[in-house]
Chain A
Amino acid sequence: MYVYDEFDWTFLEQRIAEFRDQVRRRLAGELTEDEFKLLRLLNGVYLQLHAYMLRIGIPYGTLSSEQLRALAYVARHYDRGYGHFTTRQNIQFHWIKLEQLPDAMMHLARARLHGIQTSGNSVRNVTTDQWAGVTPEEIEDPRIWAEIVRQHTTVHPEFSFLPRKFKIALTAAEHDRAAIKIHDISLRLYRNEAGETGFEVGVGGGLGRIPYLAQVIKPFLPKRHLLSYIEAILRVYNQYGRRDNIHKARIKILVHQIGVEKFAQEVEQEWQSIKDGPLALEPDAIAEIAIRFRYPDYERLDDNPDALTAARLRDRRFATWFNNAVNRHKVPGYAIVTLSLKPEGGTPGDATAEQMDTIADLADRYSFGEIRVGHEQNLVLPHVRQRDLTDLWRALDAIGVATPNLNLVSDIIACPGLDYCSLANARSIPIAQELTRRFRDHEAARKLGRLHINISGCINACGHHHVGHIGILGVEKNGEEFYQVTIGGRADEKAELGTLIGPAVPYGEVADVVEDITAAYVDLRERPDELFIDTVKRLGVEPFRERVYATRQGG
């Protein structure tokens, strides 16, 4: 956990006092809705179909049990008893009243939570690996760097009114769990051949109407220069990014219009003039952030305690869950446990106030009071003693978050869609719910292997459909909901954009199409362990297209 100091606290209290005054001025008519819109967006407040929505950032996906209880409190007292975890490690409340917002915010602020820059044309919540600090794969804890970037970009005097939203993601592990390539800036912390650690910096990733993956413009950036280099990118973008057309305002469009080489040159020139100035990160400044991260006081334990091994052999349901949800921790005797927020028939990423409170209690008992949120819309208990796994599993199972479907076909990423969102063209949630019913048999799903389905209710792509192994995009045709289906996308270190398999299909046929695609895969794969994504890579979309459209026309 990062613990606040007096500077962080004072800043946050001043921010909420400012927003309280802005709400007062809006209610008194001193601010027009147009003026207020920009200010509320910078505090995470959207106006949706039915009500205001409050989006709270969870920096680098790390939550304390106290914070999760504060979220549960807000869900219960200001919303309808639940919250929705998003693909950017945030949580959204969809039913909050404007006049209650400052109070809800103050309650969250007491637990160091806020919605600053979770929307608006600003630098958004910096995201990273939900296993940061605990996975044996990483070279160091990326959250220290995410925190340094977070502070630097918070209420930045130059970059709070950018052409469009701006997203930064960071990973320090070989396997990318943070989907960095679909971000405006991607940062990969690695060790070069000389043994120094630094960042590979990419720019211009993003989904939406015109999807691109980030392209590398700096193969190795020494850590000392992280802030000055980001500052240079933002300065070029702030001045030259398009502002005449909202659909062409993201940095990816600028990068592609002027060319990545030219863009890199502009950044380099700007960077050279500022890199040794006040933004240079000296070791003492880095240490000041690093020491504010607390790590648990782990016990000395052995891996695979006898009781665990026995339970795996004795209890089939436990073994299934264990094989699906438990991952290796860097400290012997501990494990990383993922909680599925994708139960059969549920809304992906939703958690009730009761679930949040219980998970907070379980975190206190079994995970040093810490919880993580991943971009796949699931939660993680990052430091569980292996000998506690059976007890923990029973408790998780009792509240419905032990579905053994992680990374399988029913572990679906979905945006809120037309049920909530004023931008959506089509529903996302009911499609996800139907798919979880179709693929309710976990044994069959396990045999399909890793398979990510991503659903977006409109072209803005909040459900990241372009990078789903199977991507589903809602569109509107003559007042009806239709869905385009892509296959072959992926968001990890081998990121790729999916390919459209054919004409859009109506709402009622989407689940059938997905079943056809998975059936085709089972017939086409070379071996039982060739993953869906690898079969698509090997064969292309054609055989899948044939199978899906053999019996239907599409719209």
Chain B
Amino acid sequence: MRLVKAGKIVQDRFVRWSDDGPPPEGTAVLVPHQRLFADPALLEREAPTGVIWPNDRNVAELAPYLHRLAVVALVFPTFKDGRAYSQARILREKQRFAGELRATGQVLRDQFLFMLRAGFDAFEVTKDADAEAFADTVRRYSVFYQPTGDGRPTARAGRLDRGPEIGSRAPERVPLGR
């Protein structure tokens, strides 16, 4: 497993902490959601704290903690389970969470773009080869049909920028090289 952040493979400075005792001073930790509920004072520590949030729980419950959370780690138990995409968009686009949004679980290269578009910016990538291919993979597409919080321009925006073709039937536009 490799962590990809800002498009690069990086060292993970967060330690997963599920013991009952307090985490060591100065260590960034990721804790399960039960631990956060039991001990919200974790968020008062100097070192950053993040939470691992299950995919079957409403992310609205995180609202009171978001301003102090450095990381929200969402879970893909298998890559066919897409609940965390909705959670990510709600966190980013409605709750305006600005910290690290991390994808964990089964994370393959074929999901990177979906995840980026849903608001994830950190990826615990299952296979090393996929992590290494990150930069190339996310350049695979340049056309997107849906507006999401990631701000990538959509086909609709491109069409409107092109100016009106109303009045004359739009010609079929063929890409270069065909």
A residues apposed to B, CB below 8 Å: 3-11, 13-15, 17-18, 22, 30, 35, 38-39, 110, 121, 151-152, 154-162, 235, 238-239, 243, 273, 278-279, 284-285, 287-288, 291-292, 294
Asked if B65 is at the interface (CB within 8 A of a chain A CB), the reply is no
In the bound complex, CA of A156 to CA of B159 (Å)? 19
Q: Within 8 Å CB of B147, what residues of A?
A: 278-279
What residues of chain B lie closer than 8 Å to A291, measured between beta carbons?
165-166, 169-170
Knowing A13-B175, A30-B129, A158-B89, say if A18 contacts B140 (CB, 8 Å).
Answer: yes
In the complex, which of the residues B108, B129, B143 contacts A7, with contact meaning CB atoms closer than 8 Å? B143
- Whether A9 and B155, one on each chain, are in contact in the complex, defined by CB atoms closer than 8 angstroms, is no
Known contacts A14-B140, A39-B110, A294-B169; is A7 also within 8 Å of B159 by CB? yes
Q: Write the chain B residue with the least CB distance to A282.
A: B160
Q: How many A-B residue pairs have CB under 8 A?
A: 116
Q: Which residues of B contact A121 (CB under 8 A)?
A: 80, 82
Q: Which residue of A lies closest to B114 (CB)?
A: A157
CB of A285 within 8 A of CB of B169, answer no
Assembled-state Cα–Cα distance A13/B83 (Å): 29
Chain B residue, CB-CB nearest to A17: B140
- Residues B170 and A3 in contact, CB atoms below 8 Å apart: yes
Q: Are A11 and B143 in contact (CB under 8 A)?
A: yes
Please determine whether B174 and A9 come into contact, CB atoms closer than 8 angstroms.
Answer: yes
Closest to A291 in B: B170
User: Can you report 17 A-B residue pairs in the complex whose CB atoms are below 8 A from each other?
Assistant: A5-B159, A5-B170, A5-B173, A7-B143, A10-B175, A14-B142, A14-B143, A38-B79, A38-B80, A151-B155, A155-B144, A157-B146, A238-B82, A238-B83, A287-B166, A291-B166, A291-B169
CB distance from B178 to the nearest CB of A (A): 7
The residue in chain B whose Cβ has the minimal distance to the Cβ of A243 is B81
Min CB gap B145→A, angstroms: 5
- Mark each residue of chain B from 155 to 178: 1 if its CB lies under 8 Å from any CB of chain A, else 0: 110111000111001111111001
Give the complex CA separation of A235 and B178 in angstroms: 38
Residues of A within 8 A of B94 (CB): 273
Q: How far is the CA of A162 from the CA of B114 in the complex (A)?
A: 13
B34 in the interface (beta carbon within 8 A): no
Within 8 A of A (CB), among B24-82: 79-82
Cβ contact within 8 Å between A239 and B83:
yes
Minimum Cβ distance to chain B for residue A345 (Å): 41
Taking a contact as CB atoms closer than 8 A, the residue among B145, B159, B160, B178 that contacts A155 in the complex is: B145
Per the bound structure, the CA–CA distance linking A161 and B103 in Å amounts to 15
Query: Are the C-beta atoms of A288 and B156 separated by less than 8 Å?
Result: yes
B113 and chain A: residue at smallest CB distance:
A157
Other-chain residue from B117, B118, B160, B175 in contact with A284 (beta carbon distance below 8 A):
B160
Interface of A: prevailing SS = helix
Q: Say yes or no: B159 contacts A235, CB within 8 Å.
A: no
**A227: nearest chain-B partner, CB-CB:** B146
- Which residues in A have their C-beta under 8 angstroms from that of B117? 157
In whole angstroms, what is the CA distance A170 to B166 when docked? 26
121-171 of chain B: CB within 8 A of chain A: 127, 129, 140-148, 155-156, 158-160, 164-166, 169-171
* Chain B residues in 8 Å Cβ range of A235: 86
15 new A-B contacts, CB < 8 A, other than A14-B142, A157-B148, are A5-B159, A11-B145, A13-B175, A17-B140, A30-B129, A157-B118, A159-B85, A161-B80, A238-B82, A284-B164, A285-B160, A288-B156, A288-B159, A291-B165, A291-B169
User: From A4, which residue of chain B is reached at the shortest CB distance?
Assistant: B172
B127 surroundings in chain A (CB, below 8 A): 30
Q: Determine the distance from Cα of A279 to Cα of B115 in the docked complex, in whole angstroms.
A: 20
Residues of chain B with a CB closer than 8 A to A284's CB? 160, 164
Known contacts: A238-B85, A284-B160. The answer to whether A3 contacts B114 by CB under 8 A is no
Contact A160 B159 (CB under 8 A): no
**With a CB–CB cut-off of 8 A, which chain B residues contact A152?**
145-146
Q: Which residues of B contact A155 (CB under 8 A)?
A: 141, 144-145
Residues of A within 8 A of B86 (CB): 158, 235, 238-239
Give Cα A7–Cα B145 distance, bound, in whole angstroms: 9
User: B146 contacts A156, CB within 8 Å?
Assistant: yes
What is the bound-complex CA distance between A159 and B114, given in angstroms? 9
Task: Tell whether, in the assembled complex, residue A7 and residue B82 are in contact, meaning their CB atoms are under 8 Å apart.
Answer: no
Compute how far the CA of A10 lies from the CA of B80 in the bound complex, rounded to whole angstroms: 27
Contacts of B145 in A (CB 8 A): 11, 151-152, 154-156
Q: When chains A and B are docked, how far (Å) is the Cα of A369 from the Cα of B129?
A: 48
Distance in angstroms from A106 CB to nearest chain B CB is 11
**Chain B, Cβ-Cβ closest to A237:** B86
Q: Of B83, B108, B115, B160, which is in contact with the most chain A CB atoms at under 10 Å from its CB? A: B83
CB distance from A270 to the nearest CB of B (A): 9
- Contact A11–B160 (Cβ < 8 Å): no
Residue of chain A at shortest CB distance from B177: A13
A22 contact set on B, CB distance < 8 A: 110
B158's nearest neighbour on chain A, judged by CB, is A7
Alpha-carbon distance A110/B170, docked complex (angstroms):
19
Residue ID in chain A nearest B83 by CB atoms? A239
Q: With contacts A30-B129, A151-B155 known, is A10 near B142, CB below 8 A?
A: yes
Complex Cα spacing A291 to B115, Å? 33
Query: Within the complex, what minimum Cβ distance (angstroms) separates B156 from chain A?
Result: 6
A320 to chain B, nearest CB (A): 39
Chain A neighbourhood of B129, CB < 8 A:
30
CB of B82 within 8 A of CB of A159, answer yes
A449 to B131: give the CA distance in the assembly, Å: 63
Cα distance A552–B94 in the bound complex, in angstroms: 64
